[in-house]
Amino acid sequence: MRLFGFAFIGVVFLALLMGQLPKPLSANTLKLAQIANTVLLFGVPAFLYARLTFADHPLYNLGFRPAEKRNFYLLAILLLFFSFPLEGWLGIMNKRIALPHWMIQTETDTDRQLTAILEVKKPVDVLINLLVVAVIPAIFEEMFFRGVLQRILIQLIKRPWAGIIATAFIFSFLHFQFEGFLPRMFLGILLGAAFWYSGSLWTTILAHCFYNGIQVVALSYYPTTINNENPSIPGYATLISLVIVVGLLTAMRSQSRAAKNSKWH
């Protein structure tokens, strides 16, 4: 927790520094701040934890190792791809929950900042947006949430799924986008399960990057979709999504057990 505290102090210092800059902040300044926040808040504590916890090969033991089976990379991506309708339905349910004004205001401010970050003036901006909002967060958030926090909570609670769900709750809360809390928590559960079954952070990083990347491309070219107040997800699409997600999780669990059993023979 001290590592997280030091990182938080760094983020607060960065926020104070940003507060001294003339407003409105440019898109490039916001992008640099986004990168710095991600690295300081998630990357630095995760790296220091790995160095202090694992004497040999710290990053490997944190989770930067090959998956139990190579097809886990594809299965994790498919897991998040087919979860889109189900997450959309959870988002609709989430919006029906009456939230305090400060939560709604936080969501509005975050959406406004994200729209500014994803502004596209030339084609290369899309690639930069992918790096800032998809690739970098996928790497450092997975290091922290799945590599460190989920590992610690599972050890404390002694129940893998309880640790995965608790980590997903914190993962969603720390994004401070409460109108999307439920779908983001569900995303965290899927990523947590993918890491638990595959044993590799590369699996969840690829899936997380894929998930964010699709949204970055969509919002880069169609920024108004972020303010869609009346989304609609057909019931059959939600049901199909649920069936496929459960099927993929079951397949990953079976393959994980088979891979672990083969090591003992």
pLDDT per residue over 60-112, tens digit each?
Answer: 999 999 998 899 999 999 999 999 999 999 998 998 888 888 788 877 777 77
Identify whether the C-beta of residue 132 lies closer than 8 Å to the C-beta of residue 34: yes
Q: Given this model, what pLDDT does residue 12 score?
A: 55
Residue 94 lies in a domain: yes
pTM of the model: 0.88
Residue 86 lies in a domain: yes
Residue 27 lies in a domain: no
Task: List helix spans (H) across 2-67.
Answer: 2-19, 27-38, 44-53, 58-62
Residue 52 lies in a domain: no
Give 131's contacts (C-beta < 8 A, 6+ positions apart).
none
Specify the amino acid at residue 63. Answer: G
List the one residue out of 209, 196, 138 whose CA is nearest residue 167: 196
Q: Which two tokens stand for residue 101?
A: 């004004």
Residue 34 lies in a domain: no
Number of domains making up the chain: 1
Residue 114 lies in a domain: yes
pLDDT digits (tens, 9 = 90+) for 108-163: 777 777 777 777 788 888 899 999 999 999 999 999 999 999 999 999 999 999 99
Which structural domain, as residue segments, surrounds residue 211? Answer: 57-258
Residue 2 lies in a domain: no
Residue 14 lies in a domain: no
pLDDT digits (tens, 9 = 90+) for 172-220: 988 888 888 999 999 999 999 999 999 999 999 999 999 999 988 887 7
- Evaluated on CA atoms 75, 80, 85, 91, the torsion sign reads positive
State the distance between the two ends of the chain, measured CA to CA, in whole angstroms.
40
